[in-house]
Amino acid sequence: MSPVLLGVGWALAACLLIVLGIFHARADTLKRDLARTSARVDSLSRDLAAERRWSTILSSTAMRTAAFTLTPDADPGLRARAVMDPGTRRAVLVFDHFKAPDGHAYEVWAFHGSTPAALGRVRADAEGRAVMRIEDVGDPDDLTAFAISLEAEGGTPAPSEPTGPIVMIGSLGG
CATH of the domain at 111: 2.60.40
pLDDT of residue 81: 93
* Residue 98 and residue 143 share a domain: yes
Same domain, 89 and 112: yes
Same domain, 5 and 50: yes
Model pLDDT, residue 57? 75
As a whole number of angstroms, the distance between CA 153 and CA 109 comes to 16
Which residues have C-beta within 8 Å of that of residue 99, sequence separation ≥ 6?
124, 128
What pLDDT does residue 104 have?
Answer: 93
Question: Is pLDDT larger for residue 24 or for residue 154?
Answer: 24
Q: Are residues 29 and 84 in the same domain?
A: no
> Quick one: 55 and 131 in the same domain?
no
Query: Are residues 13 and 51 located together in one domain of the fold?
Result: yes
pLDDT at residue 174 is higher than 70: no
Q: What is the per-residue pLDDT for 155? A: 62
Structural domains in the chain (count): 2
Which has the closest alpha carbon to 167: 133, 127, 122?
122
Lowest-confidence pick of 49-58, 113-122, 164-173: 49-58
Residue 20's SS3 state is: helix
Residues 90 and 144 in one domain: yes
Confidence of residue 27 (pLDDT cuts 50, 70, 90): confident
Domain that includes residue 161, residue range: 64-172
How large is the average pLDDT for residues 69-75? 91
Query: 151 and 95 share a domain?
Result: yes
Q: Are residues 27 and 73 in the same domain?
A: no
- Give the burial class of 91: count Cβ atoms within 10 A of its Cβ; 0-12 exposed, 13-18 middle, 19 or more buried: buried
* Average pLDDT of the residues in 98-114: 92
